[in-house]
Amino acid sequence: MKKPDFLSDSDARDLVKDAEKLLSPDRRRVLRQGLTLGGIMMLTGCDISDNESVETALSRMSRFNDRVQGFLFSHRNLAPEYKASEITRPFPFNAFYGWDDIPQIDGRDFQLEIRGLVRDTKHWTLPELYHMQQVSQITRHICVEGWSAIGKWGGVPFAHFLQLIGADMRAKYVSFRCADDYYTSIDMATALHPQTLLALTWDNKILPPEYGYPMKIRIPTKLGYKNPKHVLSIEVTNRFPGGYWEDQGYNWFGGS
């Protein structure tokens, strides 16, 4: 199989070396013959039980998987878009809490906080955001739990917003803090992807509370847990920020 033109020979060698570190010398030959990432776990010889060696191996494999996904990610690869007739109705509510705990935010007092490696750290009100350039997309939300749903999201292209605040595009991460105590982060390449959206509407209406009012970050190239709702602050940083589920063992890159 031809190697992608955006994965250099040196990058490919580095990825193989990382995987080889998980294997004993007499097992490395299998990796060179095309072993899958799942197969690497099988060859570590770990007893599948709740012990430190298993957690360590899983953590190392997750970091390796992040690197692979990062190398393969490209702004040229777009998530599929759909027709209005294909929108899932009703669109499901999903969170780590129930309906009764959905944050109720007063939009009149809302101000989006901007922090980190940016030129302008001014706070943004909802009227200011509503008057910015708006686009829409009909894309599929894919949940790590195994279900998916198609919705129409509208808002500000996130790359445009980052340019507007003078974000350092050489920074590694963009992180988000939310009103429901959720937090997550993405790599800069994902933040600049043309489909990544600072979403303010759903189905041509102001974003309902159950879907993330006053705003969510809609990333159709990522699994659902990488799409934070009720966003209160955005930070551009070189410090690895982690995430609510990622700190509990979920894959950080979270590509769909």
Could you read off the pLDDT of 21-67 as tens digits, one per residue?
A: 544 444 444 444 444 444 444 444 454 455 554 444 444 544 545 55
167 and 104 in a common domain: yes
129 and 165 belong to one structural domain: yes
Task: Please tell me the pTM assigned to this model.
Answer: 0.74
Average pLDDT of the segment spanning 214-223: 97
**Do 58 and 151 share a domain, yes or no?**
no
Q: How confident is the model at residue 186 (pLDDT cuts 50, 70, 90)?
A: very high
Closest CA to 45 of 13, 75, 69, 23: 23
Same domain, 161 and 38: no
Overall number of domains in the chain: 2
Average pLDDT for 183-211? 97
Range of the domain at 46: 10-72
Judge if 65 and 97 occupy the same domain. Answer: no
CATH of the domain at 118: 3.90.420.10
Could you tell me if residue 96 is inside a domain? Answer: yes
Could you tell me if residue 244 is inside a domain? yes
Q: What is the residue-averaged pLDDT of the chain?
A: 82
Q: Is residue 154 part of a domain?
A: yes
- Both 90 and 172 in a single domain? yes
Closest Cα partner for 253 from 6, 64, 77?
Answer: 64
Q: Per-residue confidence at 256, pLDDT binned at 50, 70, 90?
A: confident
Q: Please give the sequence-ordered ranges of beta strands (E in DSSP) within the chain, or none if there are none.
A: 111-116, 124-125, 135-142, 148-157, 173-178, 183-187, 197-202, 205-206, 216-218, 231-237
pLDDT band of 77, cuts 50, 70, 90: confident
The answer to whether residue 2 sits within a structural domain is: no
Least reliable range by pLDDT among 46-60, 85-99, 122-136: 46-60
Shared-domain flag, residues 63 and 113: no
Is residue 218 in some structural domain? yes
Question: CB–CB of 66/73 below 8 Å?
Answer: no
Check whether residue 143 and residue 188 sit in a common domain. yes
Phi, psi at residue 237, to the nearest 5°? -155, 160
Residues 48 and 92 in one domain: no
pLDDT-above-90 percentage for the chain: 68
